[in-house]
Chains A and B, each alone.
Chain A
Amino acid sequence: EVQLMESGGGLVQPGGSLRLSCAASGFTVSTNYMTWVRQVPGKGLEWVSVIYINGNTHYADSVKGRFIISRDNSKNTVYLQMNSLRVEDTAVYYCARNWEYDYWGQGTQVTVSS
């Protein structure tokens, strides 16, 4: 059974850092396209970042230069390193699989506040 489990969220001050994890089971992250999407509670969905099978990465303009997506094949996990966090980064962060976004995790809340 395909499952995704995010973790690592929490409360952080502006300018701080967090690393989110997306642990996968039932499939191999290295042979799939993995994405991070965020959602401000009560609002819509915003694409954040993607890591392709070949390791190439892309970022939304709003996070470029501050966030880094990576994966650890030995742990079957995808990460989102978030630096220089801003209040507007406050959201629930989801990981999702493939271009169809066929499976989603439950999400992890990130709150940036002083």
Chain B
Amino acid sequence: DIVMTQTPLSSPVTLGQPASISCRSSQSLVHSDGNTYLSWLQQRPGQPPRLLIYTISNRFSGVPDRFSGSGAGTDFTLKISRVEAEDVGVYYCMQATRFPVTFGGGTKVEIK
């Protein structure tokens, strides 16, 4: 199975400041069809996960443009340009390139 490693485990951020989360996969996530099926999910406290970003950098419908994704191969990053109070929660990367789908361990974003 592909192992997804996220850093940091926790990210205390001042409101209005940027935040960055890293995700590294144990194997390349480039699929034979040329796509890289790396997504980012947000889970607010007491809520189910919510899709933010798919195929590395595509924002899902309704996701604010302060969220952006980048990366390639085995190294990926989620950036929040200016953290707002509603961004508090746990963020997960996930890969759907190779079976089975696997998730990172999560990064908790909290306000300082």
Task: List residues of A whose CB falls within 8 A of some B CB.
Answer: 35, 37, 44-47, 50, 58, 60, 94, 96, 99-107
B60 near A102: Cβ-Cβ < 8 Å: yes
**B60 to chain A: which residues have CB within 8 Å?**
100, 102
CB distance from A59 to the nearest CB of B (A): 9
B103 near A100: Cβ-Cβ < 8 Å: no
B101 near A44: Cβ-Cβ < 8 Å: no
Most chain A CB within 10 A, of B41, B48, B96, is at: B48
Q: Which residue of A lies closest to B39 (CB)?
A: A100
Tell yes or no: B94 within 8 A of A by CB. Answer: yes
Most chain B CB within 10 A, of A45, A46, A107, is at: A45
Contact A101 to B92, CB < 8 A, known contacts A35-B101, A47-B101: no
CB distance from B93 to the nearest CB of A (A): 10
Q: Which of B49-57, B70-78, B79-87 contacts A (4 or more CB under 8 A)?
A: B49-57
Q: Which residue of B lies closest to A104 (CB)?
A: B48
A101 near B106: Cβ-Cβ < 8 Å: no
A45 near B92: Cβ-Cβ < 8 Å: yes
**B51 to chain A: which residues have CB within 8 Å?**
100-104
**A45 to chain B: which residues have CB within 8 Å?**
41, 49, 92, 94, 103, 106
Contact A104 to B49, CB < 8 A, known contacts A44-B92, A44-B106, A99-B37: yes
**A96 to chain B: which residues have CB within 8 Å?**
49
Q: State in angstroms the CA–CA spacing of A48 and B81 once bound together.
A: 34
Tell yes or no: B89 within 8 A of A by CB. Answer: no
CB distance from B110 to the nearest CB of A (A): 15
CB distance from B51 to the nearest CB of A (A): 5
**B94 to chain A: which residues have CB within 8 Å?**
45, 101
Q: Which residue of A lies closest to B58 (CB)?
A: A100
